[in-house]
């Protein structure tokens, strides 16, 4: 997360990261990484447009057989009609399907949250 925000050249976006280790099947790891990159890039581009400063949060949690990754911003939000026509949303949905995951969006008042739920693999010794 800090690398993506840092590469944007933006120092006015604060990060709050709460992550626990998760085990992800190697076949799905690349798709999940691309999903995260797309969500973060979209947040930087749309939530913090015109030099607007803001806050991004990332929560990574695991439980039972599933992991969740939630990324939220405090931008102006995105109407669901605009989201349904977005190339980024379409890409995230397709990559999620490839990773056997589900992507859901919700308004955060203000901002947007995207949650990715995916199968978690067991640790191997």
The widest CA-to-CA distance across the chain, in whole angstroms, is 49
Residues composing the chain: 125
Q: Is residue 5 part of a domain?
A: no
The model's pTM is 0.85
Domain span holding position 21: 14-119
Q: Tens of pLDDT along 103-115?
A: 999 887 889 999 9
What is the DSSP-derived secondary structure letter of residue 50?
A: G
Q: Is residue 125 part of a domain?
A: no
Q: Is residue 3 part of a domain?
A: no
Q: Helices in 1-125 by DSSP H: which ranges?
A: 2-7, 26-42, 80-84, 87-98
Contact 58, 19 (CB under 8 A): yes
Q: Is residue 2 part of a domain?
A: no
Q: Which of 19, 114, 12 is nearest to 73 (CA)?
A: 114
Domain at 51, CATH number: 3.30.565.10
Number of domains into which the chain is organized: 1
Counting Cβ atoms within 10 Å, is residue 82 exposed (0-12), middle (13-18) or buried (19+)? exposed
Q: Tens of pLDDT along 28-78?
A: 889 999 999 999 998 898 899 888 899 999 999 998 788 999 999 999 887
């Amino acid at each position: 997360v800090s690398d993506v925000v840092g590469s944007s050249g933006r120092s006015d976006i604060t990060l709050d990261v709460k992550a626990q280790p998760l085990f992800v099947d190697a076949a799905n790891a690349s798709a999940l990484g691309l999903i995260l990159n797309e969500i973060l890039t979209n947040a930087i581009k749309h939530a913090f447009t015109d030099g607007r400063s803001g806050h991004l949060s990332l929560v990574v949690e695991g439980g039972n057989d599933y992991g969740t990754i939630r990324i939220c911003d405090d931008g102006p939000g995105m109407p669901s009609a605009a989201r349904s026509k977005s190339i980024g949303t379409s890409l995230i949905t397709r990559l999620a399907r490839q990773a056997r995951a589900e992507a859901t969006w919700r308004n955060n008042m203000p901002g947007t949250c995207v949650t990715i739920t995916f199968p978690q693999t067991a640790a191997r010794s």
